[in-house]
Structure 1
Amino acid sequence: WNTAISTMYDQCQAVGRDRCLMVHYEQLVLHPAHWMRKILDFLDVPWNESVLHHEELINKPGGVILSKVERSSDQVIKPVNMDALTKWVGQFPDDVVRDMADLAPMLSKLGYDPLANPPHYGLPDDLVADNTKRI
């Protein structure tokens, strides 16, 4: 994980801010309107409110067709929610959690606390909090 993230980080830095936009997944989940506006602006794509309600377009005419056998399809059909943000907590052995700062130094470089288990990413927008309650 650390090597892959480090490589992507270095590549992004090398091409510069006008060609690579760093987006932290957790912040995209917690604040989708803010980050989707930023991403679409970066890509020079006009804003469309439907990006905040992708689940309403799944398997609909003119929408997105999902595979029935793809493992992540069951997640994609849901509205943006916080379930995945801490789903990994408790899945790593104690020695890995203890040594996380040494095993994954990119966590600190990207602003994460490698010892925070579970981490605190901040408070969600109301839309995301409501979505999480509904699912």
Structure 2
Amino acid sequence: MKRLLESGITATVLNNAVAAFIATIIKEMGPRATRLCHNDLEAFDYLEDLNILFPKGKFIHIVQDGRATIASEIANINSNYTSENITEAILTWDDVTTQILEDCEKIGSEKCLNIRYECLVLNPLREIQKVLHFLELPWDEKLLKYGTDSNRTDQLIHNNSLGAWSKANSLLSEEHIEFMNENCLALKQLGYLTDEIPPNYVTICNI
């Protein structure tokens, strides 16, 4: 690092170079746009660094009841959530989610916004308006028509799927649900741990 500094390559120069590299990759991933957007949950592992690299950037974190997340990943045959390592996956979800929430709070509400998936499903108008206000973008009715122009039913959002993880036919066993309830701090932090299983998402979302 000393030699770099002596050569005039400061931390600012390096940050600008890395930011330009990332921005170029994102630009080349799609058509020209006024604002660049990239959907990658793993990017939140570097939230504080990205906040430095992109001082005008904003970050939206979609949070969901972790029990639903794990059940969904098992159903989608995610190799990280096989029957042999579900417990490990649960603990990983808790660690990652807790860290993201902490980092999001650290960089501030003007730069990072948490949106509950359940609230987006139950009250899309309110949640989309919240996102648009955060991004300083105008309202567009098309945003309420998600999936209507597609024949892919697997992309549609259904209210009745919110508590599917707690049903008798769920791929998430009662033992794993109990394990999450006892060991996942993020569930408690997000208010998902209630006396009800599944919790009343309408109440959680203040609808």
The match for 2:160 is 83
Verify the 8 A CA contact 2:125 2:144 in the aligned structure 1: yes
Structure (1/2) with the larger helix percentage: 2
How is 1:122-133 mapped onto 2 (pairs within 5 angstroms)? 122=202
| Largest Rg, 1 or 2 | 2
Counterpart amino acid of residue 100 in structure 2 = M
Using the aligned pairs only, state the percent identity: 28
Secondary structure of 1:54's aligned partner: coil
Counterpart amino acid of residue 84 in structure 1 = S
Q: Give the unaligned 5+ runs of structure 2.
A: 1-92
The match for 1:8 is 100
Equivalent of residue 99 in structure 1, options 179, 184, 190: 179
Q: CA deviation at 1:114?
A: 5.6
Q: Say whether 1:57 aligns with 2:136.
A: no
Question: Which is bigger in relative contact order (C-alpha 8 A, separation at least 6)?
Answer: 1
Verify the 8 A CA contact 1:98 1:115 in the aligned structure 2: no
Verify the 8 A CA contact 1:5 1:106 in the aligned structure 2: yes
- Which string of whole-angstrom CA distances, capped at 9 and with x for unpartnered residues, describes residues 27-49 of structure 1? 11100000000101111111101
CA RMSD of superposed structures (Å)? 2.1
TM-score (norm 1): 0.69
* Alpha-carbon distance between aligned partners in 2 of 1:45 and 1:29, rounded to the nearest angstrom: 21
Q: CA deviation at 1:55?
A: 1.9
* Alpha-carbon distance between aligned partners in 2 of 1:40 and 1:10, rounded to the nearest angstrom: 23
Give the total of aligned pairs. Answer: 108
Q: Give the unaligned 5+ runs of structure 1.
A: 60-72, 124-135
Q: Which runs of 4+ in 1 moved over 3 A?
A: none
Verify the 8 A CA contact 2:98 2:185 in the aligned structure 1: no
Q: Say whether 1:35 aligns with 2:127.
A: yes
Verify the 8 A CA contact 1:100 1:114 in the aligned structure 2: no
TM-score (norm 2): 0.47
